[in-house]
Amino acid sequence: MQLAPLCTDPFVISCTFVCLLLLLALPYLNPNSVTGRRLPPGTRGVPVLGALPLVGPAPHSGLAALARKYGPVMYLRMGTCGVVVASSPSAARTFLKALDERFANRPVMASAEDMSYGCQNMVFANYGPKWKLLRKLSSVHLLGARGVADWASVRRDEAGRALRAILEAAEAGRPVVVPEMLVCALANIVGRITVSKRVFDTQGDESNTYKEMIKTLLTGTGLFNISDFVPALSWLDLQGVQAKLLRIHIQFDGLVTKWLAEHTATSEGRVREGRLDFVDKLRAINDDEGAETITEVNIKGLITDMFTAGTDTSSIIVEWAMAEMIKSPSIMARAQEEMDRVIGRDRRLEESDIANLPYLQAICKEAMRLHPPTPLSLPHFSFEECEVDGHHVPANTRLIINIWAIGRDPAAWEDPLEFRPERFLSGPAAKIDPVGNNFELIPFGAGRRICAGMLAGMVFVQYFLGMLVHAFEWRLPDGEDKVDMAETFGLALPKTVPLKAVVKPRLVPAAYT
């Protein structure tokens, strides 16, 4: 059987193209035409692309500007997709508490297809039995309270290595590039607890290449990619996002495959000595009769989740907090005074000290409020229609929570653009914690899809930030008089210009050994 040749008549091609555009544009001619019911306020946008061009190159601030015009619950057409955006604490509470289960799914996203191994990981999997199993295993063996406590010695060891590397830089008169140092340390922690491997012997070209890979992954999957909102055009990859992410995925998958192969070759020794890591425990699931199978693809997806979410996002919060303190030396001085009083200068900070350092905790909360690691939540998706504040939200709608806008909402925060940790020491904000119960501060999200690594992330941020502030004096390199606070939008929100500083030790020499 032979296929008919494609028509090449210019008139026929033009008519076909116009018909396609009209079909795609139909929902924008009347935003209520699909349901005939009152949708939340919003804008029709432009034909075919809808509101996509209106969000701009920084969608977190673009959507916040639209929310100031249309309200904290907006309904936007983006491509062929309906999107509801929540931009206030009360709106977030409605969707992530009252309607939590209904919006617990993820939409299909062309930009996430490769890095998620076809949605076989925990982050992008749909809500269901396999996602629940992956979430449970991650919480029990790695990310829950017991798992975090079990790996405290690994964090302490890698923190000590980072301290000594910074001390060497100080003695040599070299500035410290804060995110490079943090990512190297955090990647080694994740490597040791997942595959029993320090993935980088030292900070250098290899760890910096890894950081750029993670940054590209997080930036690319966070972009408002036309292919994600107009699936019919995904094969064109108009912005080149999918091609770039595929190249990075192939690189990263090569690393994960290598680590898992090395892990398999050394598994007998770990089993014999009873020192099982996360992957050992995942693979043991398949040895239990009747247990649901965890495939090697699931394991690869989980490892990718741990390395992407467990390194760059935590380092981003610490970097922003350090930048704010270097910019405001009085905050740094107060934090150091608290640590000197509680800990002294003859030893390094330990995780057990954090409970006695309320100002350090306040600095971490303030950094998460003003510079959330994920400015927009990963998109939620509902297959069912619902009512919100008297408005109809159709089935097959995506939900975006603007975490960045909520943290800067003047109705929720006094002087929201100021970095003022003191707000968390007294008054109403003193009882607010970023664990998903107080919707004014949800850097890790909330509800069923709250970040599984929230507890580990809090420990990473508080411990590493406290260690850096306690152990060293920080200042900008000679010739620089201002901290560049520009940000780069993506799934995460890093500083555009990495923070670089000159350091001087504060503790007795023995504290760094």
What single string gives the DSSP state of each residue in 370-408? HS-SSSBPPPEEESS-EEETTEEE-SSEEEEEBHHHHHT
C-alpha 352/C-alpha 375 separation (Å) is 30
Cβ(447)–Cβ(104) below 8 Å? yes
The answer to whether 119 is annotated as binding is: no
Single-letter residue type at 274: G
Report the distance separating Cα 176 and Cα 168, nearest Å.
10
- 486 exposed, middle or buried (CB, 10 Å; 0-12, 13-18, 19+)? exposed
CA–CA separation, 301 vs 295, rounded Å? 10
Contact 334, 156 (CB under 8 A): no
Q: What is the DSSP string of 62-110?
A: HHHHHHHHH-SEEEEEETTEEEEEE-SHHHHHIIIIITTGGG-B----G
Beta bridge partners of 83: 76, 398
SS3 338: helix
Quick one: tokens of 347? 């030893």
Binding site: which residues?
451
Binding site for heme: which residues?
451
